Structure 1
């Protein structure tokens, strides 16, 4: 049996499909200096993004138009002439891409599974960061373990990251959700060990099983780093079909009567309310939340998000 038969496209991801993302990783940027006003990272979020950070260069005479916040008052007082501090942008802004390949991601009702979309997002982000000249690494976490690729400015490093994603993705065929919480806790500890400050952290997941302490961790780490969240969802998670069907989760099966309009409305309301609550909580800390579905092309959605109001 060939890989294409054993791991059907759009249900599982392949390395070749992820490598195609390299040519599609344009039309968006994670850098603050390159955000458009209409971008999802524009406005308040752009002020939260720190760019690559600043290095002090020199003190020189004040020039009209200089930011008054950069006036060096000590030198000004000593020389009796207004002086400004000059900064230059640091040469890099390392990135860490964290991608969820746990069992809850192994679902898709029409086009792709959430795990495939998450893998594509991770590849798009990794190639884009490398194109902008920064170090990039990643963490792949699943129910039965995690993989860590430390940030490097190296295309081979991205290939190793993508290979780990493919391996974990294909494990979903046989795996059962047994150790998700411990894997997640270990992942968070690893992030703390890798990330210092002024990192870009892109966290890709469906955010189904995140506990309050995980939300606290996200907000805490955003104090000294840029954090972008990408929520992957399937439309059926929001709008159940108008028919009877069996839904399975964590080894359990549940019969749902989609003919009941109240059940459908309650289902949608719960999904919308939970997502809005999550976004509002993140908004308080200036953390943007991108929403990407399993129906439309992943790269097209990403570029639209970076252009919309």
Structure 2
């Protein structure tokens, strides 16, 4: 198996150790952190019932458990501890547009590895995890469940969709699944207060997709991992190039002027995408597939 074109189970399982080197997602409380250690603006945090104890003078009467008080014939109050778990939901693009690279691994492989690292990070933190993994024609949804229950299903989906790409690439069938349609189907599975990671090149983000992201952002934290091949930065000064996309082929001579135009076009697109997502309150991480993924995630996550 060519590791630059597709991932295997061994690769995804090996990410468990590397995931320990990642910081917690935005707003997450690190395991073992003391309550009150910092001011928190995070969503999805509350109080979990811990135990009952006898009422003591000065206790807040609003904490009295009236059922226990009636049953035991003396005042008892409910004790709470801080809820530290935060659901994590991964949205992972495995469409043909992601099956691209000029050097090193494809964008689809990088996306699968990023999702694997974040999934294992949830495992270590004990956070519920869910996912939406999608191709050009299908998608698979996993609602947020305990990581011990759901991690195998998430990894299976990543493997299945990623390993289909080399076989599907020669056909280049038109896409029927869009980023916006996946967001729409996944919305009802994402609990309020979740941290959502969208891993894609965002090539088809349109107005409806932005509206869905805006609605999701009102109740969740969102990080966008924009995967890209930095061909525009490594183009030769001149020469003959060939390109093929969905049945269309072209050959052209690269001139210094054309090189500059390509660089400016790609740079403008990436800058425009970042501005659009940032305006929605989404944290944007640009991931270059030829660079070390873990180091890039350590800077961005």
TM-score bracket relative to the smaller structure:
0.7 to 0.9
The offset of 1:183, in angstroms, is 5.0
Matched residue, 1:255: 251
**Which residues in structure 2 correspond to 1:96-175 (within 5 Å)?**
96-175=89-168
Matched residue, 1:245: 241
Contact 2:44 2:192 in 1 (8 A): no
Flag the 1:145–1:33 CA change in 2: closer, same or farther, 3 A: closer
Flag the 1:56–1:173 CA change in 2: closer, same or farther, 3 A: closer
Contact 2:88 2:129 in 1 (8 A): yes
Normalising by structure 2, we get a TM-score of: 0.79
Unpaired segments ≥5 residues, structure 1? 36-45, 62-86
Provide the alpha-carbon RMSD of the alignment: 2.7
Partner Cα distance (2:289, 2:130) in 1: 25
User: Over alpha carbons, which structure has the higher Rg?
Assistant: 2
Partner Cα distance (1:289, 1:101) in 2: 19
Matched residue, 2:292: 297
The offset of 1:130, in angstroms, is 2.2
Partner Cα distance (1:146, 1:34) in 2: 31
SS in 2 for 1:201: strand
Q: 2:8 aligns with which of 14, 30, 49?
A: 14
The offset of 1:257, in angstroms, is 2.2
Q: What's the CA shift string for 1:76-110, capped at 9, x where partnerless?
A: xxxxxxxxxxx964242111101000001101111
Q: 2:217 aligns with which of 219, 222, 240?
A: 222
Matched residue, 1:207: 202
2:187 corresponds to 1:195? no
Contact 2:91 2:133 in 1 (8 A): yes
Matched residue count: 263
The offset of 1:241, in angstroms, is 3.2
Contact 2:87 2:144 in 1 (8 A): yes
Partner Cα distance (1:49, 1:256) in 2: 52
Normalising by structure 1, we get a TM-score of: 0.77
Contact 1:239 1:268 in 2 (8 A): no
Partner Cα distance (2:246, 2:174) in 1: 12
Partner Cα distance (1:254, 1:89) in 2: 60
Partner Cα distance (1:179, 1:25) in 2: 35
Partner Cα distance (2:279, 2:39) in 1: 14
Quick check: 229-238 or 170-179, which moved more? 170-179
Partner Cα distance (1:177, 1:153) in 2: 37
Contact 1:219 1:282 in 2 (8 A): no
The offset of 1:305, in angstroms, is 3.0
**Which residues in structure 2 correspond to 1:19-30 (within 5 Å)?**
19-27=13-21, 28-30=23-25
Quick check: 176-185 or 105-114, which moved more? 176-185
Partner Cα distance (1:196, 1:156) in 2: 17
Partner Cα distance (1:151, 1:136) in 2: 5
